[in-house]
Amino acid sequence: MTELSKIRNFSIIAHIDHGKSTLADRLLEECDAVDQRVRAEQLLDSMELERERGITIKATAVQLRYAADDGSIYSLNLIDTPGHVDFNYEVSRSLAACEGAVLVVDASQGVEAQTLANTYLAIDAGLEVLPVINKIDLPSARPAEVKAEVEDIIGIPAEDAPEISAKNGINIHAVLEMIVRDVPAPQGDREAPLQAMIFDSQYDSYRGVIVYTRIRQGTVRPGMDIKMMATGAVYKVVEVGTMSPGGLVSAPALGAGEVGYITASIKTVADTRVGDTITGLDRPASEPLPGYRPVQPMVFSGVYPADGSKYQDLRDALEKLKLNDASMSYEPESSIALGFGFRCGFLGLLHMEIIQERLEREYNLDLITTAPNVVYRVTKTSGETLMVYTPLDWPDPMEIQLAEEPFAKVSLIAPQDYVGNIMDLAQQRRGEFKDMVYLDASRVELHYEMPLNEIIYDFFDALKSRTRGYGSLDYELIGYRPSRLVKLDILLNGDMVDALSFILFADNAYPRARKICEKLKDNIPRAQFEIPVQAAIGGKIIARETIKALRKDVLAKCYGGDITRKKKLLEKQKEGKKRMRTFGTVSVPSEAFMAVLKLDDE
């Protein structure tokens, strides 16, 4: 075990694209911890998807051995944090495992919404926040101004913040020295009852769940019986150790102040919730560490196999994914239109896209996904209150006394030139303006309260496009508020397709209904008969389009030389038909569902 005074536990926090992962790479290199040849683009983002999207989805940690200028060897534990608003809770738990945070600020862009949000999280977690000014190699860099910004806006001293370029490896040494000097050494009693906080876990098919943890009090050793205080699960420790850049390195014990991993033949990550406290079974801690809360999915959508016979495959895949991602939830659901599938809960839309992509890519499934929705709260005339997770459960309008939807407090930061655009956008999305603060001479932070439903679709993309990429966003749930909500139903050839129903704000119903009918008309192939596409609220038709009957679909020429090629064409058309779902009399390709999801792309 490393002496407490020689341990530094820290995170790197930043707004997206400010260079967090690049800095992490440089720190690893500077500590000579990485074999250059086996370096992937960005070391800590190890999931394939993460690398493609350039964002960290899951937290990971790595231990560096650093020979400091003072002549001592320090053990630096870098705990990475996810970089998207969907994963705020994970961020908070990763931070809770540290004593300090390196705040990376882009020398030309300055303080952004996530810079603020993450800094506040770090300060709330009681961390020492150490600013670093990155990308000083850029011609547009203005480090002095950005330092002043950090002091003015965030209120932390930044005068001595290292000016670095992670990309070009400039001044990385100064960052390491700052970490040794300014991040407080951890404290704790290694003889006390065990208190270890889980900040991440990962399923490994050979060892079972690998729990990433920060030991607060006591010591954990192989052979010891441990208990997860929130879930109550009990296990016998098989192995403990630390995460070196090359992989897991086992150790005889982990003591207070240290960051490492525990394996204990755990079958599912559901038993190892992020934020939970591990204690000893024989000598338990009197209480868990503060801050645990079960993660609540906020966005729900129906996930169905495009080919109905693949239901079991989908179930197996979800089960496996769930082993690795406790924040996702799934419940069997059935739709008249789509048959058997699952109602899945996600932290946000990004999380939803990631899960869908993983299901399709890693498990080779073809999926139909219904429009995502938030959880609504409905009070019926009978006095009963219910939470509505799917449009399928929306009560008859006659039975609804009060409908409510979740609202969020939204913070938007952008150069002042875009204030008008942002205000327009927020208004369209039913945002209620709260206040506006000038962060400096040119940048403004606006606060709104807005229905979560309006944020989860494509608000972030819309914001980016209306602020030429300069706008940034952060939000936080503030509870339910009454709203005028209706359920919009879609009818194909007179039959309702339940999987296409969704709940929306009453005033948006007409334009939305028209658009959805148009989209469906464009995406549903012509059939042998004319197909009316209608949108209805409570039985009243509010929009209609017609798909004309198929008149011509023929290969005029087919002689000896054409047969192979024409055969392939027909084969392709046949495969397309296989992916279609038949609703009553109408065949709908899965692309039609996708098109309906992407309504806001004007």
Partner 1 sequence: MPILTKRPNKTPLGIYIHVPFCRSKCQYCDFYSLATKDDSLIDGFLDAVCDHIKEAGELAPGYKVDTVYFGGGTPSFFGGDGMAEILNTIRRNFDVVSDAEITFEANPDSVSDRLLRRLRAEGFNRASLGIQSDSDEMLKKLGRPHTYAQAVSAYQKIRKAGFRNVSVDLMYGLPGQSLQDWLSTLDTVLRLLPEHISCYGLKIEEGTPFWGMRDVLNLPGDDEQAEMYLSAVEALRSRGFRQYEISNFCRKGMISRHNMKYWTGGEYLGFGPSASSDFAGKRYTLKRDLQAYINGIRDGGDIMEDIQEIPLRERAGEYLMLRLRTSVGIAAQEYEKAFLLPFAPLEEVLEKHRRYYHTTQTDTGRWVLTPRGYLVSNDVITDLLLAQDQSEPMKRI
CB of 571 to partner 1, least distance (A): 8
568 binds partner 1 (CB under 8 A): no
Q: Which is nearer to partner 1, 48 or 530 (CB)?
A: 530
570 binds partner 1 (CB under 8 A): yes
CB of 568 to partner 1, least distance (A): 11
Question: Quick one: which of 35, 205, 232, 552 contacts partner 1 (CB under 8 A)?
Answer: 552
CB of 555 to partner 1, least distance (A): 7
CB of 172 to partner 1, least distance (A): 53
CB of 553 to partner 1, least distance (A): 4
Q: Which is nearer to partner 1, 269 or 547 (CB)?
A: 547
CB of 560 to partner 1, least distance (A): 4
309 binds partner 1 (CB under 8 A): no
The per-residue DSSP string of 339-395 comes to: EEEEEEEESSHHHHHHHHHHHHHHS---EEEPPPB--EEEEETTS-EEEE-SGGGPP
Rounded CA gap, 583 and 555, in Å? 28
559 binds partner 1 (CB under 8 A): yes
What pairing do the DSSP bridges indicate for beta strands 485-492 and 277-280? Answer: unpaired
CB of 544 to partner 1, least distance (A): 20
Rounded CA gap, 116 and 475, in Å? 12
Question: Quick one: which of 39, 468, 578, 598 contacts partner 1 (CB under 8 A)?
Answer: 578
Tell the burial category of 387 from Cβ atoms under 10 Å away from its Cβ (0-12, 13-18, 19+).
exposed
CB of 558 to partner 1, least distance (A): 6
Question: Quick one: which of 37, 140, 396, 574 contacts partner 1 (CB under 8 A)?
Answer: 574
Q: Which is nearer to partner 1, 73 or 570 (CB)?
A: 570
Encoded one letter per residue, x for contact with partner 1 by CB under 8 A and - for no contact, window 488-527 reads ----------------------------------------
CB of 578 to partner 1, least distance (A): 7
564 binds partner 1 (CB under 8 A): yes
Question: Quick one: which of 38, 286, 528, 601 contacts partner 1 (CB under 8 A)?
Answer: 528
The per-residue DSSP string of 99-123 comes to: SEEEEEEETTTB--HHHHHHHHHHH
Q: Which is nearer to partner 1, 65 or 567 (CB)?
A: 567
Strand-by-strand arrangement of the 208-217 sheet? 234-236, 225-228, 277-280, 195-204, 208-217, 259-263, 239-244, 247-251
Question: Quick one: which of 567, 568, 582, 598 contacts partner 1 (CB under 8 A)?
Answer: 567
CB of 516 to partner 1, least distance (A): 25
Question: Quick one: which of 287, 541, 571, 598 contacts partner 1 (CB under 8 A)?
Answer: 571
Q: Which is nearer to partner 1, 387 or 550 (CB)?
A: 550
Any idea what DSSP says for residue 416?
G
CB of 551 to partner 1, least distance (A): 4
Q: Are 473 and 459 in contact (CB under 8 A)?
A: yes
Q: Which is nearer to partner 1, 541 or 558 (CB)?
A: 558
Rounded CA gap, 56 and 42, in Å? 10
Question: Quick one: which of 529, 546, 568, 582 contacts partner 1 (CB under 8 A)?
Answer: 529
CB of 595 to partner 1, least distance (A): 21
Candidates 240-248, 335-343, 488-496, 564-572; binding stretch for partner 1 (CB under 8 A):
564-572
CB of 591 to partner 1, least distance (A): 17
CB of 580 to partner 1, least distance (A): 10
Question: Quick one: which of 65, 434, 577, 598 contacts partner 1 (CB under 8 A)?
Answer: 577
Rounded CA gap, 103 and 563, in Å? 64
Encoded one letter per residue, x for contact with partner 1 by CB under 8 A and - for no contact, window 531-550 reads -----------------x-x
Q: Residues 390-397: contacts with CB within 8 Å, 24+ apart?
A: 390/300, 390/302, 390/333, 390/343, 391/487, 391/498, 391/501, 391/502, 391/503, 392/333, 392/335, 392/498, 392/501, 394/487, 394/501, 394/503, 396/538, 397/486, 397/487, 397/538
Question: Quick one: which of 206, 560, 601, 602 contacts partner 1 (CB under 8 A)?
Answer: 560
End-to-end CA distance of the chain: 58
Question: Quick one: which of 53, 190, 566, 579 contacts partner 1 (CB under 8 A)?
Answer: 566
Alpha-carbon torsion, ordered 593, 595, 601, 602, to 10 deg: -130
Rounded CA gap, 348 and 270, in Å? 19
Q: Which is nearer to partner 1, 140 or 528 (CB)?
A: 528
CA distances from 452 to 346, 457, 474, 510 (A): 13, 9, 12, 21
* Count of other CB atoms within 10 angstroms of residue 391: 23
Candidates 276-284, 477-485, 493-501, 563-571; binding stretch for partner 1 (CB under 8 A):
563-571
Any idea what DSSP says for residue 10?
E
Helix, strand or coil, per DSSP, at residue 91:
helix
Q: Which two tokens mark 383? A: 């006095």
Q: Which is nearer to partner 1, 391 or 589 (CB)?
A: 589
Q: Which is nearer to partner 1, 230 or 580 (CB)?
A: 580
* Count of other CB atoms within 10 angstroms of residue 104: 27
> How many chain residues interact with partner 1 (CB under 8 A)?
26
Question: Quick one: which of 206, 382, 557, 601 contacts partner 1 (CB under 8 A)?
Answer: 557
Question: Quick one: which of 205, 247, 556, 602 contacts partner 1 (CB under 8 A)?
Answer: 556
40 binds partner 1 (CB under 8 A): no
Q: Which residues make beta-bridge pairs with 480?
A: 406
Between helix 311-324 and helix 349-362 the angle, nearest 10°, is 120
Rounded CA gap, 92 and 123, in Å? 10
361 binds partner 1 (CB under 8 A): no
Phi, psi of 19 (to 5 degrees): 110, 25
551 binds partner 1 (CB under 8 A): yes
Enumerate residues 6+ apart whose C-beta is below 8 A from 501. 391, 392, 394, 487, 488, 489, 490
Rounded CA gap, 247 and 314, in Å? 31
Q: Are 101 and 127 in contact (CB under 8 A)?
A: yes
* Residues comprising the chain, all counted: 602
381 binds partner 1 (CB under 8 A): no
**Site residues, partner 1 (CB under 8 A):** 528-529, 548, 550-561, 563-564, 566-567, 569-571, 573-574, 577-578
